Structure 1
Amino acid sequence: MTLTVSSKLADFQDELRLDLAIDLDDDSFYDFCQRNPELRFERNPDGTIIIMPLTGGKTGIRNSELSFELVLWNRKHKLGQVFDSSTGFKFQNGATRSPDMAWISNNRWNTLSPQEQDKFPPISPDFVVALMSATDKLKTVQDKMHEYINNGVLLGWLINPKTQEVFIYREDGTVDRIHNFNNLLSGENILPHFEFDLTLLL
């Protein structure tokens, strides 16, 4: 089926929104994404599809540092599953989001059927990371972090390399702020014994 698509720039320059002529259910949206592997999509609760931009070189390096440390920790402790930024998660509010990095405990991941694990898992990660690029707007990313928490994420890190700030979001609604990168981030009780050295992102 051919879809008639009209596109318009969103209020912020780092995303392009698509208004489709028909509504897509979950399976159709998954198939739509698979037919366009060169693009990365998210979907808002109202069904609006958002094209996510490619990252620049420095952001890619920083993402790799974070991913490596998280995967290394997970291989040692074997407590869950690590997901990269190309993984979409279906949230309770109807949105499909792809955090820059995510982790889900084995106990929760194993509650999903093989079919649910294969597509966009209908589950919120226990832990997410949002690593800002130079064009990201802080308010936009902060809103997304609140959405993560409101949909069941237990711990989230919003990292802004430009200002060397980190916002730590928790399931109880508290948000802590770190003002420089000369610190270690803790996985707290969600990722036991996991620490990340922020100087790796300088």
Structure 2
Amino acid sequence: MNALTVNLKPVLELTDEQFFKLCQANQDLKFERTATGELIIMPPTGGETGNRNGRLTQQLMNWTDTDGTGIAFDSSTCFKLPNGADRSPDAAWIKLERWNTLTEEEKEKFPPICPDFVIELLSPSDSLKATQEKMKEYLDNGVSLGFLINRKSRQVEIYRQGKEVEVLESPATLSGEDVLNGFVLQLEKIW
């Protein structure tokens, strides 16, 4: 099953509050919204992808707890990006000083902030092209470092501000570089 995109503009334009309420009223569904207001209904992941995504998040959360310079998020977190899109990366991290600039209400809803770091794990139902476009959208909105992991081809695309995308073949680890200083993502259990 692939993601379904619905253009509501001819009929209505959802406010941020209405979009939030729609998501809360339909918690069995996962929604994203493009910068142009199209509603994207994401299919649930299968068991293998869910397990691998959990392992990604686990590693990021463990490092975050030890490091203490930021806050990590799982795939159920939706961020309001500066371009107006509402996106849910599979894993994300934000510097604590940036997170702390948000109000409590902003933190409770869909935080109006772009993460510093994101991971997207390509699932069998994801389009590689659409996910690559999503990674570029993250960069355009302020992400400093992003990993697009394609388990099927055992490739990782690394997205960095101001640089060309780097493609790695079957890496054993990925470095958080200077964005997540000291973070190393072990890929053995992700492949």
For the 8 Å contact 1:149–1:173, the answer to whether it is kept is no
Q: Which has the higher contact order (CA 8 A, sep 6+)?
A: 2
The answer (yes or no) to whether the contact 2:78–2:87 under 8 Å persists in 1 is yes
Counterpart check, 1:161 vs 2:151:
yes
Report the Cα offset of residue 198 of structure 1. Answer: 1.4
Partner of 2:71: 81
- The offset of 1:95, in angstroms, is 0.6
- Mapping of residues 1-202 of structure 1, within 5 Å: 14-20=2-8, 21-181=11-171, 183-202=172-191
Q: What is the CA-CA distance between 1:137 and the residue it aligns to?
A: 1.8
The one-letter code sitting in structure 1 at the alignment partner of 2:142 is: G
| Cα separation, 2, equivalents of 1:136 and 1:88 | 18
Cα distance, 1:169 vs. partner? 0.2
Please say which structure displays the higher CA radius of gyration.
Answer: 1
Counterpart residue type for residue 35 of structure 1? A
TM-score by length of 1: 0.90
Amino acid in the other structure paired with 2:84: G
Q: Percent identity?
A: 48
Deviation sequence 1:71-94 (CA, Å, 0-9, x none): 111111111111111111111111
Following superposition, the deviation at residue 124 of structure 1 comes to 0.2
Q: Distance in 2 between matches of 1:60 and 1:152?
A: 27
Are 2:3 and 2:125, in contact at CA under 8 Å, matched by a contact in 1?
A: no
> 1:118-160 deviations in whole A, cap 9, x for unaligned?
1111100000000001122211110110000000011000000
TM-superposed CA distance for 1:201, in Å, is 1.4
User: Could you give the per-residue CA deviations for residues 91-129 of structure 1, whole angstroms, max 9, x where no partner exists?
Assistant: 111110000111101000001111111111110000000
Moved over 6 A (4+): none
| Alignment TM-score, normalising by the size of structure 2 | 0.95
Which residues of structure 2 form unaligned runs of 5+? Answer: none
